Structure 1
Amino acid sequence: MRHPSNVPVRLTDYRPADFLIDSVALDFRLDRTATRVVATLTLRRNPKGVPGAALVLDGDELTLVSLKLDGRALGPQEYEATPDRLTLSAVPDGPFTLEIETRVDPTANTQLSGLYRSGSAYCTQCEAEGFRRITYFLDRPDVLSVYTTRIEADEREAPVLLANGNPVEAGKIAGGSRHYAVWRDPFPKPSYLFALVGGDLGVVRDSFTTMSGREVALAIYVEHGKEARAEYAMDALKRSMRWDEEKFGREYDLDVFNIVAVSDFNMGAMENKGLNVFNDKYVLASPETATDGDYAGIEAVIAHEYFHNWTGNRITCRDWFQLCLKEGLTVFRDHEFSADMRSRPVQRISEVRGLRLVQFPEDAGPLAHPVRPSVYHEINNFYTSTVYEKGSELVRMLRTLIGAETFRRGMDIYFERFDGTAATVEDFLSCFAEASGRDLSQFALWYSQAGTPVLSSEGAYDPDAKTFTLTLKQETRPTPGQTDKKPVVIPVALALFSENGQKLDLASRDARPEELSRGLVELTGAERRLTFENVPSRPIVSLLRGFSAPVRLEPAPASADLERQLAFDDDPFNRWQAAQSLALRAIFARVDAARQGAAAPEAPGYVAALRTLLVGADADPAFAAQALSLPSVIDLAREAGSDVDPDVHHAARMGLRAEIGGALRADAEAAYARFADKGPYRPDAAGAGRRALRAVALDLVAAGDPQKGGALAQELFRNAGNMTDRLSALTTLALLGGDAREAAFESFYKQFADDPLVLDKWFSLQATIPEPATTQRVIKLMSHPDFSLTNPNRLRALIGAFANANLTCFHALDGSGYDLLTRVVLDVDPRNPQVAARLLSSLRAWRTLEARRRALVEAKLRDIVAREGLSADTRDIATRALA
């Protein structure tokens, strides 16, 4: 394990590598505890490096067996080797070869970084700095090499041998049961994209014909017996390949494309060139075991990793500060793919929900950092929602500013100009500046400034002049290390409506004609005032349509205007936002009343608007389900901003839920019956929308009449023909409690005890029950035979769900939730610091809590920081949280 370093890595300190590695030949002799790796590197000095510099290669817990320079064995006095570094002070000035033999123990590698075992298979994970756990190397993304990989293993143990690129040779080794395979990747790539898999696996095969007529062999490798559950992933892969050709002109470039699903993986998936390694939760699906959300997740992640072939592999990032260049851009591309495959409005709402749940609190807390950070201590901790989701929003915003056609021209320039290179954010933006003729220097501030800008608006109507003046202002509040913020470019999509819902023509001398024709104005300074003419009456303003920029909009319009927007705004996102704003207003009114000891106020206007949505849900059930769903307690904490008391917020939310359920019970029962599946299960957008609406209707019935809701949920649980319905029934029963809940959990476990991915749902749902006894339930579940602290999926399902989604229990005033998280983090940290650090990130918004809880969290963080032997990953999160 790498131990903490107090030396920060800074973007301003970047310099090119002193050496280049033109080719890498790897020879693996797989063994469970003593795998031999021979790496033959062809090196030369980098003309941009320091003349005469020593060759210093990265390592991590490595055992050096032998070392040869140009075929000559080196003696110990000719180099310096430690587990973490190999230094040669004297090497030739011309090209030379270095042969390095190391020995690694895949079974003991619990960090799941480098070469390790998952179940019965050997696999690798090298991003960000895992390749140095396999052999000594210049383990940085700007050193690109052509790789040839030979793998040797016992055929009985590992009949399948895979690596990057195309297969070139395979055969048996005389005199035993061993065999070998050789793979070659003709495209230069950085070490983080290296991959190897060896094991006894089942396979699903297919093929794809590219737009130029080449046939590509496709294969998805899974555990034996689970092949049928990979069919949807294969279909998603083929659709992704076709979509990337049609939308971005990107054709796949190898003869084969392989995916391997493993059960032990720190992340969702990895885009290694030609050999994607996946967490099996993003590959395996059947109606009996996967929800609609699981199917959508598989579709999105399959697409994301495939799209990396061009935005990440063919063009990689110069250094890890440019991580958003591959991740944010590829998230944007997978979001667009999902929008085309499903409902674009619902997809957009889902994207913004996720951004606000995780990224906005990250931006507002001690772990805030820019989309392109300027400094880090541990790069693993910067695989964040800011880099991914906010990074995606910046690409979307760029497209909004310059238009879709110009954006596509900029992407074409990017692919042509930087193919085969390691690029920077500046390289990326230069392509769009060229395509559009715009100066994007101010837009670039989005990449270097942390924090979520606050966009405020104020309107004034002049009935005599028939004009409406809209004043827009922006402010970005201080974040750690950044106190002074400059104005950024904010594209504000807008429309004006009359009180009866008529959309008004936009006319203003304060805006450029091309702005108004697109319904888009740009706020580039601290303030901008726009006066609209020929406005017959005070208008309803629809601002930030489609969520045109990742900002907070304050204040929300008056309730009457929100109710009108919900009724007639033609922008689906703003209709949904109107529903959310009304709900937030109603919940916070209850919070204020509770703190004052007053009776809870009712919200008849909001309830009436929801009834209209529910009754008319047939037009778009998926949208109605989103609009009818109340903000979560996490949303409430984010909107409150400070002195957050999760108990008070939860009680207010549940009180409004009961009010809505009581008022809409009859309509909800009718909708529940109306949206039952009429035919066999299909994981398409239409079917998913109907089931989502039915789940919301069931929740409303249970909120208004627990006895009736419980009876419906028990009936649905017994008769459900798919996991989506079964889990929605179990979710309702979990909230209602009692013997029916415990019987349902027991029945669910007995039915799916042999399916780890389904059991993750069982653990997770119990961890999120919002009642005081849940903390003890979680502790008890940690002793369950099917729980494991070494499996990242199971840890995320139980402890991650408890800490991130059950705010009332996790933030219990007795500190029991914090005690539990601390024990788990310190237990997991020595074995898997990446997972430990991510669990600890659950405390990213602790400073927004009220004083008693803040004191408890601060004490735990200080206790963690004081621990001896803490990993760099976990120490970095704890230290930054306290800063």
Structure 2
Amino acid sequence: MLDVQKTANNEMADAAPHPQEARTIRREDYRPPAWFVPEVHLDFQLGAEQTVVKSRLDVRRSKSAKYQEPLILDGDDLLPVSVRVDGESWTDWTLVEGALHLPLTGASHIVEITVEIDPSTNTQLMGLYASGGMLCTQCEAQGFRRITFFPDRPDILSRYTVRMEGSKADYPVLLCNGDKTDAGDADGGRHWAEWVDPWPKPSYLFALVAGDLVANNDSFTTRSGKEVELNIWVRDGDLPRTGHAMKALKDSMRWDEQVYGREYDLQLFNIVAVSDFNMGAMENKGLNIFNSRYILADPEVATDADFDGIEGVVAHEYFHNWSGNRVTCRDWFQLSLKEGFTVFRDQSFSADMGSQALKRIEDVRILRAAQFPEDAGPLAHPIRPESYQEISNFYTATVYNKGAEVIRMMHSLMGADRFRKGTDLYFDRHDGEAATCEDFVVAMEDGGDADLRQFRSWYETPGTPKVSARLSHDPQSGTATLNLSQQVARTGEKPEPSQMVIPLRTALLDPDSGEHEGEELLVLDKPEQSFQFEGQTEHPILSINRGFSAPIIMESSQTPEELAFLSTHDDDPFARFEAMQQLMTNYLTARVTGTPADRDIVLQAVGAALSDESIDRAFLAELILLPSEAFLGDQMVVVDPEAIHEAREKLRGKIAVQFERKFRRLYAQCTPGEFSLSAEARANRKLRNVCLAYIAGSQADDAAALASDQFADADNMTAKQGALSVLSHMEDKDRGWAFDDFYNTYRDNALVLDKWFTLQSLSQRGDTVKRVKALAGHPDFTMSNPNRVRALYGSFTANPVRFHDASGEGYRLIADMVIHLDAQNPQTAARFIPPLGRWRRYERGRAELMRTALEKIAATPDLSKDVMEQVSKSLA
């Protein structure tokens, strides 16, 4: 993807630039295409080691283009076998930095190009590649140029007709975008299929799959009465694990009709599960290609979180049919136009399918774990970036998750009805177009009768706003005054006052009853603002940013007593959770910095939650969880991982000892019955695992035996993984037995084996770095599968106390891995730079070691631009 080459008539002097000299692409430099390609015909002669691709492009010069501008067709590691223009052989072409330049006169032409590619050597997993005996594609963002020469940009919308031919024995199933229009047998044991996609689409949405697959076949009847054939294609043995994904697809189709009025627009919808995949899934028109981890599930191999992930990702990719496909991006700077909007849609869908409160907690936890650090580090960027060198580096938490929060704020400001009117106008106005973020906002304004001019600053401002809240009370007048101020911190700069539009759901709770007179939506749109509330006979308790209505850092003067009160009485579930988290966070950060703090009030709040029998068990499990070590580090000016780990473990141990009897009672009460995905059954499994972890934290003599028994008796992966996670940190002999048993049971299931690698990488044992190195040499470890790489090395970077070992061994381990992986899969390798790139946040010794690791990567010859861009920004 994302050298001097000999052409038919000359030697090219324009070699591709060295990664250190990679060209920076800027949003301000966008120019409309000089040529359009309304029709594309592709012919594939498929083979794992040689695939011949013949393209027939109907190219038409833009009326606004200069007449002398050549036709430029992007290519990556391609060499044309033949080039024809209007039926005649054409030799007047050159290759410049991989792109094919044809100096054509006239307004329109038919250009035919033949290339040969080798899918078996495509380790980047971009373009057409081989995976487990099948052929498949990934074209977003710039993978299509690895298949054939083409103007590979999202504002070129074309109708595709595709003919595929291959060995009937090797590839009995031939799939492409759109609807299949014809098929038949060919000579030599081969067969062919022809597909036509009637909807114009950019090249990044092209998809092709050929393999020995079977389908879970179903159908869905749209609201207009059209029956759509649904297929989820997998390898034969995986078919029984596709039921949950099929249900999620049908639920998604129904929900999109009901909530957004969007109906599916083809006769056929195909999904294919692929083992080797850089991303989670891809929304190619009518043929979604998925990482198999987001399709395959049953209770034995998938946790409740896996089931949720499948539901959310299936929904996300289906919703892209409108928010991404029918209306696509004009250029890659507009990526959040489709991704932020669609993440908001899939979050809303999942909340409607399950628990609104739990889903919001999950979404905010992910935002704070991934996006807030991004906003505070050297890779910070707005949700609509201004420049890039490698677009794959901008598939980030900022574009996706913060982008979703921006859409959520629009929904809060406008209300559901006006928001729907805005989206209806957006889809109608821009159907079949490549649009911009401005187009979306204008449609929301026009359709929803809203003024979002000032709100647009969210699209161009990096950094997380900090809001300071101070509540005062005048007992004589019965008036409470809320004083708010806002700042935005640029990376490495002093925070400055800002005028972001920040919607804050707010309520004032009675300090005796915990009740309030109603929630208000306050809009902070100035550097400082005051809001007054009458009729407050006593000093109320402030509940602000309820439901996390804005993606901000809230700084308030709330006392531990007030936070404890909110954690018990607030009627907004997220606000209640947030108060408990803030209470624990304040105590732990104080302990790390040596500031006096009252532990008893934290214990009292936890005790009150454990004694409240009205609390849903799944919510209780979230409420009593301690903040993560990574999150605690984000709250500190200088991060000391060892000190954070020690303080957190001490508090966890104290809670575990003080409430051990309650944890044991709840653990027994949550004993599972027959497996079910009902809310009650899932809540019991969730709370039971949390209680087990706390019992282990009490250092009880029987903790290892209890975890071992749960592991041995479990009939589902949620319980089994929960027990194994507890055992992973222990020295007990049962740990080794359990991990061996898990491996021997699931060694032939790649997705479950990923869990085996992950749990060992997350272990807090002192030998974890040594164990990770050993696992890298395990026969079942491979660098060619991104899931396996993420399971071992990605999990290790999420293990603060071991990744940040004071020796620096963890940093060196990741640096060496990145250098090795970059040569075969730059996109995946680049994902490992951000954990090292936050070196300035750490105490001096670790900071120097992290920087040294980055410098080692930067000094590597022939480094990809994916990795070099991330490293150079991290060191700047």
| Partner SS for 2:347 | helix
The whole-number CA distance in structure 2 between the counterparts of 1:504 and 1:881 is: 47
The whole-number CA distance in structure 1 between the counterparts of 2:85 and 2:496 is: 53
Shift of 1:34: 1.3
Amino acid corresponding to residue 360 of structure 2 in structure 1? R
**Are 1:836 and 2:829 an aligned pair?**
yes
Tell me what 1:541 maps to.
542
Tell me what 2:379 maps to.
367
The whole-number CA distance in structure 2 between the counterparts of 1:555 and 1:647 is: 28
**Are 1:114 and 2:110 an aligned pair?**
no
Deviates more, 1:600-609 or 1:243-252: 600-609
Tell me what 2:726 maps to.
732
Identity among equivalent pairs (%): 46
Tell me what 1:587 maps to.
588
The whole-number CA distance in structure 1 between the counterparts of 2:494 and 2:28 is: 16
**Structure 2: stretches of 5+ with no match in the other structure:** 2-15
**For 1:675, which of 662, 670, 678 is the aligned residue?**
670
The whole-number CA distance in structure 2 between the counterparts of 1:485 and 1:183 is: 56
Q: 1:482 to 1:88 in 2, by over 3 A?
A: farther
Tell me what 2:84 maps to.
68
Amino acid corresponding to residue 851 of structure 2 in structure 1? E
**Are 1:877 and 2:873 an aligned pair?**
no
The whole-number CA distance in structure 1 between the counterparts of 2:321 and 2:275 is: 23
Amino acid corresponding to residue 609 of structure 1 in structure 2? A
Shift of 1:192: 0.2
**Are 1:780 and 2:774 an aligned pair?**
yes
Show CA shifts across 1:739-767 (max 9, x none).
Answer: 11111111111111111100100100000
The whole-number CA distance in structure 2 between the counterparts of 1:334 and 1:216 is: 21
Tell me what 2:861 maps to.
868
**Are 1:434 and 2:446 an aligned pair?**
yes
Shift of 1:772: 2.4
Amino acid corresponding to residue 822 of structure 2 in structure 1? D
Contact persistence 1:501–1:569 (CA under 8 A)? no
The whole-number CA distance in structure 1 between the counterparts of 2:550 and 2:157 is: 35
Tell me what 2:7 maps to.
none
Show CA shifts across 1:215-249 (max 9, x none).
Answer: 11100111111100011101110000000000000
Deviates more, 1:687-696 or 1:785-794: 687-696
Shift of 1:858: 1.2
**Structure 1: stretches of 5+ with no match in the other structure:** 507-517
Contact persistence 1:63–1:104 (CA under 8 A)? no
**For 2:625, which of 603, 626, 629 is the aligned residue?**
629
Tell me what 2:846 maps to.
853
**For 1:753, which of 737, 747, 755 is the aligned residue?**
747
Q: 1:217 to 1:485 in 2, by over 3 A?
A: farther
Tell me what 2:156 maps to.
143
Shift of 1:432: 1.4
Shift of 1:483: 8.3
Tell me what 1:305 maps to.
317
Amino acid corresponding to residue 398 of structure 1 in structure 2? M
Shift of 1:82: 5.6
Contact persistence 1:123–1:198 (CA under 8 A)? yes
Shift of 1:33: 1.3
The whole-number CA distance in structure 2 between the counterparts of 1:783 and 1:198 is: 32
Tell me what 1:822 maps to.
815
The whole-number CA distance in structure 1 between the counterparts of 2:398 and 2:535 is: 42
Contact persistence 2:469–2:557 (CA under 8 A)? no
TM-score scaled by structure 1?
0.96
Shift of 1:612: 2.4
**For 1:661, which of 647, 656, 659 is the aligned residue?**
656
Amino acid corresponding to residue 11 of structure 1 in structure 2? R
Deviates more, 1:440-449 or 1:685-694: 685-694
Provide the aligned length of Structure 1 versus Structure 2: 860
Shift of 1:588: 2.1
**For 1:615, which of 611, 623, 634 is the aligned residue?**
611
Amino acid corresponding to residue 759 of structure 2 in structure 1? L
Shift of 1:407: 0.3
**Are 1:396 and 2:398 an aligned pair?**
no
Show CA shifts across 1:127-177 (max 9, x none).
Answer: 00000000010000000000011110000000000000000000001x320
Tell me what 1:510 maps to.
none
TM-score scaled by structure 2?
0.96
Tell me what 2:5 maps to.
none
| Partner SS for 1:812 | coil
Tell me what 1:423 maps to.
435
Shift of 1:122: 0.1
Amino acid corresponding to residue 550 of structure 1 in structure 2? P
Show CA shifts across 1:352-403 (max 9, x none).
Answer: 0000001000000001000000111110000000000000000000010111
**Are 1:186 and 2:202 an aligned pair?**
no
The whole-number CA distance in structure 1 between the counterparts of 2:52 and 2:573 is: 58
Contact persistence 1:357–1:634 (CA under 8 A)? yes
**For 2:347, which of 335, 352, 375 is the aligned residue?**
335
Shift of 1:485: 6.8
**For 1:376, which of 372, 388, 393 is the aligned residue?**
388
Tell me what 2:559 maps to.
558
**Are 1:272 and 2:284 an aligned pair?**
yes
Shift of 1:835: 0.5
Contact persistence 1:21–1:143 (CA under 8 A)? yes
The whole-number CA distance in structure 2 between the counterparts of 1:130 and 1:483 is: 40
| Partner SS for 1:273 | coil
**For 1:88, which of 96, 102, 113 is the aligned residue?**
102
**For 2:763, which of 755, 765, 769 is the aligned residue?**
769
| Partner SS for 1:761 | helix
Tell me what 1:12 maps to.
28
| Partner SS for 2:659 | helix
The whole-number CA distance in structure 1 between the counterparts of 2:621 and 2:472 is: 35
Shift of 1:602: 6.0
Tell me what 2:644 maps to.
649
The whole-number CA distance in structure 2 between the counterparts of 1:453 and 1:501 is: 33
Shift of 1:503: 2.9
Show CA shifts across 1:403-423 (max 9, x none).
Answer: 111000000000100000000
The whole-number CA distance in structure 2 between the counterparts of 1:469 and 1:505 is: 16
**For 1:154, which of 144, 159, 167 is the aligned residue?**
167
Shift of 1:601: 6.4
Amino acid corresponding to residue 641 of structure 2 in structure 1? P
Show CA shifts across 1:794-838 (max 9, x none).
Answer: 0000000001x1111111111100110011000000100000001
Contact persistence 2:371–2:397 (CA under 8 A)? yes
Deviates more, 1:818-827 or 1:554-563: 554-563
Tell me what 2:13 maps to.
none
Q: 1:481 to 1:213 in 2, by over 3 A?
A: farther
Contact persistence 2:455–2:501 (CA under 8 A)? yes
Contact persistence 2:357–2:573 (CA under 8 A)? yes
Shift of 1:585: 1.9
Tell me what 1:797 maps to.
791
| Partner SS for 1:225 | helix
Tell me what 2:456 maps to.
444
Show CA shifts across 1:282-301 (max 9, x none).
Answer: 00001000000000000000
The whole-number CA distance in structure 1 between the counterparts of 2:539 and 2:732 is: 53
**For 1:239, which of 223, 233, 251 is the aligned residue?**
251
Contact persistence 2:24–2:389 (CA under 8 A)? yes
| Partner SS for 1:682 | coil
Shift of 1:473: 0.4
The whole-number CA distance in structure 1 between the counterparts of 2:842 and 2:873 is: 17
Tell me what 2:11 maps to.
none
The whole-number CA distance in structure 2 between the counterparts of 1:556 and 1:823 is: 46
Q: 1:307 to 1:801 in 2, by over 3 A?
A: same
| Partner SS for 2:782 | coil
**Are 1:24 and 2:29 an aligned pair?**
no
The whole-number CA distance in structure 1 between the counterparts of 2:55 and 2:804 is: 50
The whole-number CA distance in structure 1 between the counterparts of 2:557 and 2:192 is: 65
Show CA shifts across 1:833-869 (max 9, x none).
Answer: 0000012222242221111111111112122212210
Deviates more, 1:396-405 or 1:859-868: 859-868
Amino acid corresponding to residue 384 of structure 2 in structure 1? R
Shift of 1:618: 5.8
